[in-house]
Structure 1
Amino acid sequence: MAIELLDEHEQGERVREWLRRNGFGLFAGVVLGLGMIGGWQWWQRHQHGERVQAGEHYQAALASIQAGDLDAARNQAQELRKGGVYGALIAFDLAKAQFEAGDREAAIATLQQAADGADPALEPIRRQRLAQLLIDAGQAQEAATLLSDAADATGLETLGDARFALEQRDQARGAYEEALRRMDVAAPQRRLVELKLTQAGGKPSQPETI
């Protein structure tokens, strides 16, 4: 029994000695862990607040567009320059309204500026719409450069339009053919792309039947 008591005493001393050597590290680890949890919660609240604020800016800018006050909408859109999805959406709406109002250059500038902080999922749409405006403005080479790595059907179709405007018919046919390959057989746009391909000197292939 004496040996067992002595072992318990020695074990207790060893535990206390270990705590004396490592107690600060344990305390610091606990504090660090609590700090990380608190920091994460703060970051989540901060992100939520920014999303709410961006949504409010978007609604205000949209209301200005609908009211025909494009100058106010442009100023409000500046608040969403790096607003992710909201920034891209308001740029699309504003550019469309500017173009319809006869200010093509302003529409081009709006979509160019939207590249700063653009949402990756909407970036192909921004580039395709910008390219359409550039072609309309007689800047087909800039449009072709902008869409040189297009991988979606709509982007490839617009790339074909740019190449056709530059009288590069072989490249235009290639872009239209690739657009058709990436397009659903029942897509409403398909017939128009086939007509463009024919105009460029190509021949639409017949869809395979099972």
Structure 2
Amino acid sequence: METFRTEEEQVEAIKRWWQENGKSTVFGIGLALAMVFGWKGWQGHVKDQAAQASAVFDNLMVADAAVQRDGTSRSTAEHLANTLKDQYGNLSYGQFAALYKAKYAVQDGELDAAVAELEWVLKQGPEPVLKAQAQVRLAQVRYALNDYPAALALLDDVAGTGYGAQAAELRGDILFAQGDKSAALTAYKQAKVIAQEQEVPSNNALLDLKISDLSVAVSTEKGTN
């Protein structure tokens, strides 16, 4: 009899617990399931977006190749770049599209428009490689606008990326424009070293010429002092 009462009490305890906590338990399970299925649905949406953006980007590259080859398909390329940026700006595809828009703006001599596109890319929090590319390109435009301090600041954290050599050479160009030949030579030599350390070393005849000419100029200046 004692055993029966104990089991009865256990059943009653379970009933009371269910009355007190059952709804919240069901809600919690439902919420968890909703989050799981919602996350899977979101992942599917992201994959669909990426696939669509990739297709548009492939067409943009084809159109841009035609632009660079013979100047044709410019309007098509611009339309595709605008579509990617407007519809997929949260993805790297849309951010790369803004780089194309900046390139076309530079080709048209619209440097302020190029600045706006490149600054937009940086505000999106892009992937490290894309960020470095945008920084170097923006630094090039700032350099063309004679905004040397802003250009140099953009190059500060590019070292260590695949654009390190390009950034160092650009730093040398800016320092030379500011009249600091010795610092410019150091930057050029650094660019040479970085280029040689790359997995696929690159030959840059213009950089070699800059180093040669500046080496003579700096030596001459030191000899006259």
Q: TM-score, normalised by structure 2?
A: 0.70
- The alignment status of 1:172 with 2:184, answered yes or no, reads yes
Identify the structure with the greater helix proportion.
2
Report which structure shows greater RCO (CA 8 Å, sep ≥6).
Answer: 1
Which residue of 2 is the match for residue 206 of structure 1? none
Q: How does 1:90-169 map to 2 (within 5 A)?
A: 90-93=97-100, 103-105=108-110, 109-110=113-114, 112-116=116-120, 117=124, 119-120=126-127, 121-133=129-141, 135=143, 137=144, 139=146, 141=148, 142-151=150-159, 152-169=164-181
Q: Matched residue of 2:158: which SS?
A: coil
2-structure distance, mates of 1:30, 1:178 = 60
Give me the whole-angstrom Cα distance separating, in 2, the residues matched to 1:84 and 1:197: 40
Cα distance in 1 for residues equivalent to 2:114 and 2:32: 45
| TM superposition shift of 1:162 | 1.9
- Structure 2 residue aligned with 1:200: 214
Alignment RMSD: 3.2
| SS in structure 2 at match of 1:122 | helix
Matched letter for residue 131 of structure 1? A
Q: 1:168 to 1:148 in 2, by over 3 A?
A: farther
Q: Do the aligned partners of 2:102 and 2:114 also contact (CA within 8 Å) in 1?
A: yes
What is the CA–CA distance in structure 2 between the aligned matches of 1:161 and 1:38, rounded to whole Å? Answer: 54
Q: Structure 2 vs 1, CA of residues 155 and 166 (structure 1 numbering), >3 Å: closer, same or farther?
A: same
Give ranges in structure 2 of 5+ residues lacking alignment: 220-225
> 1:42-53, aligned counterparts within 5 Å?
42-53=41-52
Query: How far did residue 133 of structure 1 move?
Result: 4.9
Give the conservation status (yes or no) of the 8 Å contact 1:70–1:98: no
**Number of residues paired by the alignment?**
198
Q: Do the aligned partners of residues 122 and 189 (structure 1) sit closer, same or farther apart at CA in structure 2, a change above 3 Å counting?
A: farther
